[in-house]
Structure 1
Amino acid sequence: MKKASLKLVLAGISIGALVGCSSNSGVTTSTANTGDVPQILQLAVKNDYTTTQPVGGWFNQSLQSNLMFRTLLVSEADLRSVKPDLASGYEVSDDHLTYTINLIEGNRWSDGEYVTPEDVKFSIEYNLLVTVSNQLYQNAFGNIVGATEWKNGTADEVSGITIDGNDIIIQLENPYSAFIPVLAQFDIIPKHAVENIDPDGFHNSEFWLNPVTNGMFMVDEVSVGSFYTLVPNPYSTETKPIIEKVVINWVPDYVTAVQNDQAYYYHTSSIDEMKILDSMSNMGSYMVDAMFYRYFVVNMQGIDGNQNPAMQDYRVRQAFMHAIDRDAIDIGVLNNMASVINSGVSEEHPANDGFVYEYDPVKARELLEEADFDFDYTVRLLTYYTDQTAENFMNAVAAYLGQIGVKTELIFTTQGGLDLFTTRNYDLGYKGLSAFSIEEWYYEYLSTNEYFQHTIGGDTVFDDLVKQLEIEVNIEKREDILRQLQQIEHDTLYKLPVFTLDQVIFINEGKLQIPDDIEFGNPFYECDIKFEEWRIIN
C-alpha cells in the first residue's frame, strides 16, 4: 500500500514565485478494535449528475457500482493483470481471435435467480445497443463477429458469441489487445430483469431504483436525489464483508461531504481539494499512478470544413508548445503533482521516442514571426475546469504567451463538451482524459471520433496506425506502432500535450480502516481493493 504524505507537497506556492517543494512517504494503519461500532460506510455522489438514481458501472464507474455488480474477471491495480471472478478463467486461441470463458456455476442474482452464460451473452449484446455507455466496452465488443449486423438490425443475435454448457465462446473479427482487461471492467447484468427495457433509456430506467445485482451488495432504500443505501446481497458467493451497510449521499460538493462525515472515501486530482482534505488530521492519502491526461485541444476545423484560420499554421502550434514552461507550472501551480508529457506516451514508457518540447520563448517568437502570426489577434483559451488551481494554471499559460507577444482571453465554461466540440468559439481548449489504456489517447485522433472530428476535421492520418495498435498483441510491434504514432503527433500537433496528473485517494482514517497491503488502481476503473476487509472503527 502506497500512502502519500502531502503536507509538504501541498504547501501554498504563488504563481509568480514558481518554486518547488518536496514530499515524503510512509505507511500507517489503524489497528483499533471495532467492538460494537455500527458497520456503516458513508460515500457520496455529486447531485449535478444527469441522473438522480443509482447507476451501474457501464455509465459512471464508482466504488458503489463495483459493490453491486461483478465482472467475469477482476483486475489487479495495474488494470491489465486479471484473476477469476464470475468466471474461473479463460483460454485464447493462438491467433487471438477466439476467447473461451468458463462461467462458475452457483453464482446468483439478488432475487435468487442463477447467473447464467445467457446473462453474459445478453449483457454484451445489450451494451452494443445502449446509448449511454463507456466507449471502452463498445470499442471492444464492436470487434466481435456479427456485432455490426446486430447493431444495424439485420441479425437476431451477435453470431460471434456462442454458449457451450458453462463456456461462453467469443469470436473476434480481428485481434483486440485489451479484450481481457476490458472484460475485467464490464459488469454483467441480469437478462431476466432487463430484456424488456428499451436500451435507449436504460441508464435512466426504473431498473436502477431497485436493481437486481450479483455483487456483495444490493440496493435497499432509495430517496431520489437525497441518498440510497446498500445492504449485503444474501445470495452473494463472495467473501462476506465486514461492512453491513453503505449509505451513498447525493451532495452538492464532495469536499464538504468529506468534512461533514458524509463520505469516508474520496478521490481527486484537484490541488485545491487536496489542500483542504490533507489539512484534516483524520485523513489518510494514497497516491495512485493513473493515466490522467491534461492537454489543449486545438480548434482546427470541423467536419463541415469550417476552419479556424488562427490555428492552421503548424508553426503557430509549435510555438505555443515552446512558449510555455510546463516544468515551472508543475512546480509553482500544480505543486509537483504532475508529469510533463510530449505525446500520449509517457517518459517512462519503453516506446517513448525521447522527443521533448523544450521551453524556448525565443524560438517560439521566431516561429510565430515565420508563420506571419497576427499579433493583434487575441487567442481564446477555454477550459471547463473552474477551481482555483485551474484558474492559476490558465493565468500562467496566458502569462507565458504574453511574454512572446500573444494576446489572450480566458474563457471558463460549465458546458465543456458543448463548447469544445459544438460551439467551438475558442482556439485552445484545456481538457482532461482519464484513460484506461494508452489506446484511449489515440482514439481521439480517429477521423470517426464523434467529438474530435469537430476539431481536426476528420483527418484520417492517424486511422491506420490506431487500428493496428488496437489489434496488435505483440509487445515489440506495439511499441513500434506507438513510436510511429508519436511522430505523427509531433508532425500535426492537433493536441498540445501538457501533463499527466496524479490521482489521490483520501480515506477518513478516524472512521475507516483498510488493509495494509491494499493497492489502489485508477479509481475511475474497477480493481480488487479487498473491500471485504474494510471496517468502520468509529
Structure 2
Amino acid sequence: MKLKKIFSLGLAAAMTASLLAGCGSGNPTSSTTAATAGGQADTTAAPAEPAAAGESGVLYSNGGPTEFFETPWLNPGTYTYNKTLYAHLIFADENLAPVTGEGDLAKSYEMSDDGMTLTFELRDNIFWHDGEAITADDIQWSIEYALKTTVLNSVFRSTFEALKGAAAYEDGSAEHIEGIAVDGSKITLTFEKVAPDALLTFTQFAPLPKKYLADTDPISLQQAKYFQSPIGSGPFMVDEVQMNNYTTLKPFDKYYGGTANFTIHLNPSAGDSDANFVTNAKAGKLDYAYTKNIADVKALEGTPGLTIDTVNVRYTRLLYLNKFDKKDGKKAPLADEKVRQAIAYALDMKSILDGVFEGAALPANSLTPDGADKADGLNNYDYNPEKAKELLKEANWDPNTELDVVYYYTDQMTQDLMAIIQQYLAEVGIKMNARLVEGDLATILWKAPEDPVNGPSAVDWDMCYAANAALSLHEYYDRYQTGYSINSHTPSDPKLDELIAATNASVDAEVQRKAFFELQKYENETLFELPLYYQPIFLLQSDKIVKGAKLGNPQFNYNWDIQNWEIK
C-alpha cells in the first residue's frame, strides 16, 4: 500500500458532525427490494447474490444503507449512493468551487453581478431513473418542499431563505416562493438579500421527483417509503437492496453524461465510521472508500493493491467555550479572553497530536484550515505554560474553579484526549472534569439562551469538545452571531456581529475572502472558540480503479465523472 499526502482543498469540507440525524421507519433486518417507481418494494424479485470479492466490473464501496437511504438534503455527499444516485444543477470542481459555464442538470447558468438573480437553463435530455423527464417544476417543488423539512443542510436553508418571498412561504401566507419563476426549461431565482453560498448550494442540492414525495409530510420526509429504494437522476440507479446486508447500483442508461460499464456494490456502514473498513479492504471488498481513523490506515500498511491518499479538508476539532453567565448568576469562568488565551498556551497541541494521531492531524490556530482562504500572521499559541500562568494571574483566576467539559464521542481516542488535556491544564493551575453526554444533544449542547445578549446560559457546561465540519466558511462562523439558533455559547459582541455580517454581504469570492481574513484575525485574538486541530480524510482506492477522478473531498459532491471511470 502507498500512503500519499496530497493537498489542502481550498473549498473542501466535511459534513457532518452536524448532530442532526434522520430516523427511518425501514426494517433494520435484511429484506430484499428492487428499485421500482417511488421506492416501492418488488417482493416478487428473486434475491440477488452479492458480487464475489474482486469480481471484474464491480466497484466495491462502503456507506450502504442499514435502514434507509439518507435524504441527500442533509449530508449531501457523505454516502457513495448520494453522489451517484442524484444529479445537481451545476458542478463543483475538486476544490468545491462552482464550475463556470456548463452545468450538470443545467446546461448553463448565470449569476448577476450583484448576486440578486440566478438563472438556470435545464438540459433537454435529463431524466429520472423511471425514464420520465426532469422538469423545472420539479426543481421549484424541491426547493419549496425542502424548506419545510427538518433534514435540510444549513447552507441550503440559508440560500433558500434568502429568496424573495421565502418568509411569506414559510409562514403559510404564500402558496409559493415569489422569488422562483419557471418559464419552460428556464428557472429564475430572485433573492431578497445576498445569498453568499448560492452557487455552492446548487453544486450540492439534489432535486427530488415531486410525483413520489408530494403527498409526504415534509416533517416525516426521511421516513418516506421512497428512501427504501429512491428514484434519482444521477449516473447510477438502485439495482438491488438487501437492507443492512448489501446494496448494488447499476448504470443508468439515460444519463446525459454517458453510461458506465461497471456496477457498484455497497457494504452497509455509516459514511465515515465503518467498523469493517480494514476487514473488507484486506478481503478485496473495498475499492473506493474513506475513513477519518488513523488506526484504519495503520492497519492497512503493506496491503498490496491499495493506495491511501491524505486529503486535507474543512474538518476542525475544537472546544466551544461557554461565555454566558451561569444560571445562578455567577460569572462564566471563560468570559475573560485572558483565561481563554491561557488555555491555548497551556496545550502542547503538536505533542498531543503526534501522540494521539501519530502526526496525521495538524494543530489549528483558526477554524479555517491552512490555505488560500486563511489570513497570514495568526498567532499559533505555541506551547508556553509560563505565559499561561501569567495570563491566569492577570485574570485573577480562582484555582478552585473546576471547568465542566463535555463531549459526545464514545471512542477511546476521545477519552484519551480528554485525559491529556486535563493533565496539561492541571500543570498551569486549571481544574477540569470531562464527561460524556448522551441523549438530546441539540438541547444539551446547543440550546440558545432566551436573552442572547445577557444570558444566562441555557446549557450546563463550560467547554464542549466537538467538531465543525463546514461546506462553506460561513458554516464555521455564522453560528457565533447574536441570536443565532444554535448559539449556546457566545454572548452578543457587536464587533463580531459586524465582521460576520461582512462575510455574508457579497457573492464575490475575493470580497468574501478579505472579509474572512479580518474575522479570522479577531477570532485568533479573542478566541471566542478554541480551535484544536484539523483532521484529514484518508481516501482508499484499490488498483481495480484504472482511471478515476481528480482527488477531492469524498464527503461532498464534485465533478468526479464516475460514469467514465475504468474498472478492471
For residues 178 and 368 of structure 1, the distance between their equivalents in structure 2, rounded to whole angstroms, comes to 40
For residues 413 and 135 of structure 1, the distance between their equivalents in structure 2, rounded to whole angstroms, comes to 24
Report the Cα offset of residue 295 of structure 1: 0.9
Cα deviation digits, residues 113-143 of structure 1 (max 9, x gap):
1011111111111111111121111111111
1:513 maps onto 2:545 in alignment: yes
1:161 maps onto 2:184 in alignment: no
Report the Cα offset of residue 156 of structure 1: 0.8
For residues 303 and 45 of structure 1, the distance between their equivalents in structure 2, rounded to whole angstroms, comes to 42
Q: CA RMSD, aligned part only?
A: 2.8
Which residue of structure 2 aligns with residue 28 of structure 1? none
For residues 117 and 477 of structure 1, the distance between their equivalents in structure 2, rounded to whole angstroms, comes to 32
1:321 maps onto 2:344 in alignment: yes
Report the Cα offset of residue 145 of structure 1: 0.8
1:75 maps onto 2:92 in alignment: yes
Which residue of structure 1 aligns with residue 398 of structure 2? 374
Which residue of structure 1 aligns with residue 275 of structure 2? 253
CA contact (8 A) 1:290 1:522 kept: yes
Which residue of structure 1 aligns with residue 489 of structure 2? 455
For residues 513 and 261 of structure 1, the distance between their equivalents in structure 2, rounded to whole angstroms, comes to 13
Cα deviation digits, residues 1-47 of structure 1 (max 9, x gap):
xx7448xxxxxxxxxxxxxxxxxxxxxxxxxxxxx944233333387
CA contact (8 A) 2:322 2:332 kept: no
For residues 231 and 106 of structure 2, the distance between their equivalents in structure 1, rounded to whole angstroms, comes to 19
CA contact (8 A) 1:324 1:397 kept: yes
For residues 418 and 464 of structure 1, the distance between their equivalents in structure 2, rounded to whole angstroms, comes to 27
Equivalent of 1:439 in 474, 478, 499: 474
For residues 462 and 326 of structure 2, the distance between their equivalents in structure 1, rounded to whole angstroms, comes to 16
For residues 495 and 133 of structure 1, the distance between their equivalents in structure 2, rounded to whole angstroms, comes to 25
Which residue of structure 2 aligns with residue 231 of structure 1? 250
For residues 358 and 201 of structure 1, the distance between their equivalents in structure 2, rounded to whole angstroms, comes to 48
2:489 is paired with a residue whose SS is helix
CA contact (8 A) 2:161 2:167 kept: yes
1:74 is paired with a residue whose SS is coil
CA contact (8 A) 2:179 2:189 kept: yes
CA contact (8 A) 1:300 1:312 kept: yes
Report the Cα offset of residue 419 of structure 1: 4.3
Which residue of structure 2 aligns with residue 180 of structure 1? 199
Structure 2 length normalisation: TM-score?
0.81
For residues 409 and 482 of structure 2, the distance between their equivalents in structure 1, rounded to whole angstroms, comes to 26
The 5 Å alignment of 1:136-147 reads 136-147=155-166
The 5 Å alignment of 1:301-340 reads 301=324, 309-340=332-363
For residues 3 and 156 of structure 2, the distance between their equivalents in structure 1, rounded to whole angstroms, comes to 32
Which residue of structure 2 aligns with residue 12 of structure 1? none
Q: Quickly say closer, same or farther: Cα 1:232–1:306, change in 2 above 3 A.
A: farther
Equivalent of 1:64 in 63, 78, 81: 81
1:311 is paired with a residue whose SS is coil
Q: Quickly say closer, same or farther: Cα 1:350–1:214, change in 2 above 3 A.
A: closer
Letter of the structure 2 residue corresponding to residue 515 of structure 1: K
Equivalent of 1:115 in 116, 128, 134: 134
CA contact (8 A) 2:110 2:119 kept: yes
For residues 472 and 300 of structure 1, the distance between their equivalents in structure 2, rounded to whole angstroms, comes to 30
CA contact (8 A) 1:70 1:215 kept: yes
Name stretches of at least 5 consecutive residues in structure 2 with no aligned partner.
6-53, 448-457
Q: Quickly say closer, same or farther: Cα 1:335–1:97, change in 2 above 3 A.
A: same
CA contact (8 A) 2:64 2:267 kept: no
1:471 is paired with a residue whose SS is coil
In percent, how many aligned pairs have the same letter?
A: 26
1:202 is paired with a residue whose SS is helix
Cα deviation digits, residues 397-432 of structure 1 (max 9, x gap):
222212212233332445565543359443222211
Name stretches of at least 5 consecutive residues in structure 1 with no aligned partner.
7-35
Equivalent of 1:385 in 395, 409, 434: 409
Cα deviation digits, residues 230-288 of structure 1 (max 9, x gap):
22234322311122243342477242444455543221222222222335334310121
For residues 70 and 509 of structure 2, the distance between their equivalents in structure 1, rounded to whole angstroms, comes to 36
Equivalent of 1:428 in 440, 459, 463: 463
Q: Quickly say closer, same or farther: Cα 1:291–1:209, change in 2 above 3 A.
A: same
Bigger shift: 81-90 or 147-156?
81-90
Q: Quickly say closer, same or farther: Cα 1:250–1:295, change in 2 above 3 A.
A: closer
Letter of the structure 2 residue corresponding to residue 524 of structure 1: Q
Letter of the structure 2 residue corresponding to residue 253 of structure 1: A
Letter of the structure 1 residue corresponding to residue 200 of structure 2: P
1:409 maps onto 2:433 in alignment: yes
Q: Quickly say closer, same or farther: Cα 1:231–1:501, change in 2 above 3 A.
A: same
Report the Cα offset of residue 504 of structure 1: 1.2
2:182 is paired with a residue whose SS is strand
1:119 is paired with a residue whose SS is helix
For residues 510 and 340 of structure 2, the distance between their equivalents in structure 1, rounded to whole angstroms, comes to 31
Which residue of structure 1 aligns with residue 224 of structure 2? 205
For residues 421 and 170 of structure 1, the distance between their equivalents in structure 2, rounded to whole angstroms, comes to 32
Which residue of structure 2 aligns with residue 216 of structure 1? 235
Report the Cα offset of residue 346 of structure 1: 3.9
Equivalent of 1:275 in 274, 298, 301: 298
Which residue of structure 1 aligns with residue 517 of structure 2? 483
Report the Cα offset of residue 526 of structure 1: 0.5
Bigger shift: 106-115 or 324-333?
324-333
Report the Cα offset of residue 478 of structure 1: 2.6
Which residue of structure 2 aligns with residue 33 of structure 1? none
CA contact (8 A) 2:407 2:436 kept: yes
Q: Quickly say closer, same or farther: Cα 1:306–1:474, change in 2 above 3 A.
A: farther
